[in-house]
Structure 1
Amino acid sequence: MVARTIWVANEDGDSLTAIDASTNTVATTHTGVDSPHNVRATQGAQSIWAASGKTSITVEIDSQTNAANGESATGAMPAHVIVTPDETRPYTTNNADHTVSAVDIATMTTIATIPVGDGPHGLRPSPDGKTIYVANNNGTTLGVIDTATNTQIDEIEVGKLPAQLAFSPDGDFV
């Protein structure tokens, strides 16, 4: 289902909508995710991940069956979720407690709670999966997390209210 599909997080609708990109019509709607703020498909397109700010969880949904595979607790007010390129760990920003949660996909358990800057919001993995960059929305920095140790290894001053970031396709620039 993920091929040529656009997933939308309907925060006030407590649902996720999949749109068929070739016809611009709704293919399916997944209900039961309270207040999803962000949604992300894995690179392999096997699953969809959503962060629920209302219930402080991240949810994995099978992209073919639309069934929930499981969920994991996060910190307070999760905003965004990403999955590492090797698809072994999702990371979720927890805006209210200034942390990022790392989850083991196989067990759906939190394996690390990583302190970062003020109000983490958007985040992205580096193309090689060795680092995660986090926009600290209530501050002025990007945090850099080492995925081997699940610790913040750097903080980069960027300006007021950074909300999101992107990598160049070759991974040379953030």
Structure 2
Amino acid sequence: MKNITTSFVLVFFFNLIAAAQGTLLVGNKEDNTLSFIELKQYKVVATIPVGAGPHEVAVSPSGKMAAVANYGNRAGAGKSVSVIDVAGKEVVKTIDLGEYLRPHGMEFINEEELLVTSEANKVLLRVNIRSGAVSEVAKTDQLTTHMVTYSAADQRAYTSNINSGTVSVIDVKNNALIRHIQLKPGVEGLHVSPDGKELWVANQKENTNTVIDTRTFETMHVFPAQPVAYRVGFLPNGKYAAVSNGGAGNVSIYDVPAKKWIKDIDLVTEPGKQPVPGGITASADSKWMFICTTGMNLVVVIDTKTWTVAQRIDTGRNPDGIYYSKVNVQ
């Protein structure tokens, strides 16, 4: 009995040591809140109010600051960004975007500047979170400019334009639209690889995942995907990518260098209930991947060594936007 107890205690402490470090920030669209999830113990330590319809979240390179896109809801279009002190777990500023409505996709380009799509205005914005200044980076003039991903390697941004079926390539340094890559209507989730050489684009209507060479803008590979391929996320080490399949209730894992499908991870937790996997983020050490499941109000933690579900964490209602910060909160 003593040996069994000792073994249990050792396994328990090993699991604590092996747990992820840092914090997850999760936007709960229906509650108009942002949750802070402490990853050492996998628990929500704070939930704070933000604007209406917080669709997407972004975190600065240091992990100290975050931003939330207040997209709005059926009652009206949102036009603001909430700026968050991660360690303090508080909103320190709300930036009014003025004429620019339906802010959605977000990415920091440095500690002070943030890229934000304005879906209604068909434009990519630059927002300074310290001064509150808002300026246009480039007009896409495409329908439903939704998500954005940024490559520090060449200072380019890529926006998915859902109804136009295009990806806009934007030179952020020079505030210039370079070109549109024509795909098909339904393009939505996208993410540029950590080395900046590949752009992966999921199409929720075509159920495909397209890999584009960012030097030539040519298609390198097209993976068939599960129904409603919704979001794409790379591990920071660039070795693997994931696509969340909102209609299938699972997440597809791909070997990036080999351009090979690895497996689908089923996120169903209760018979008869259908999770809707959405936003994807990963820990800085690439050991853990985190997926929002909108249909079941959960964040699912995936162990990237075994590609199995390690933990499920309750959130607010309708979580979607999610981002990892290496800052530990209590």
Could you state the TM-score of these two structures normalised by the residue count of structure 1? 0.91
Count of residues in correspondence between the two structures: 173
Residues 12-57 of structure 1 show CA distances to partners (whole Å, capped at 9, x for unaligned) of 1211111111122111111123111221112x33420111111111
Alignment of 1:90-169 (within 5 A): 90-169=157-236
- Give the 3-state SS of the residue equivalent to 1:164 in structure 2: strand
Amino acid at match of 1:116: L
Match of 2:119 among 53, 62, 72: 53
Percent identical among aligned pairs is: 26
**AA at the equivalent of 2:186:** G
1: CA distance between counterparts of 2:174 and 2:204?
A: 30
1:26 corresponds in structure 2 to 91
Unaligned runs of 5+ in 1: none
Give, in whole Å, the separation in 2 of the partners of 1:152 and 1:66.
38
Instruction: State the alpha-carbon separation in 2 of the partners of residues 87 and 27 from structure 1.
Output: 31
Q: Which has the higher helix share?
A: 2
1:87 Cα deviation (Å)? 5.2
Give 1:168 deviation, angstroms: 2.2
* Aligned counterpart for 1:17 among listed residues 82, 85, 110: 82
CA distance in 1, matches of 2:69, 2:234: 23
Which amino acid in 1 is paired with 2:215?
Answer: A
1:151 is displaced (CA, Å) by 3.0
Q: Distance in 2 between matches of 1:153 and 1:73?
A: 27
Residue identity opposite 1:22 in structure 2: A
Larger Rg over CA atoms: 2
CA distance in 2, matches of 1:47, 1:146: 27
SS of 1:22's partner is: coil
Higher relative contact order (CA 8 A, sep 6+): 2
Note the residue ranges of structure 2 that are not aligned, 5 or more in a row: 1-58, 73-77, 242-330
Q: 3-state DSSP class of the match of 1:139?
A: coil
Match of 1:5 in 2: 65
Runs in 1 of length 4+ with deviation above 6 angstroms?
none
- Written as runs of structure 1 = structure 2, the 5 A alignment for 1:64-103 is 64-74=130-140, 75-86=142-153, 88-103=155-170
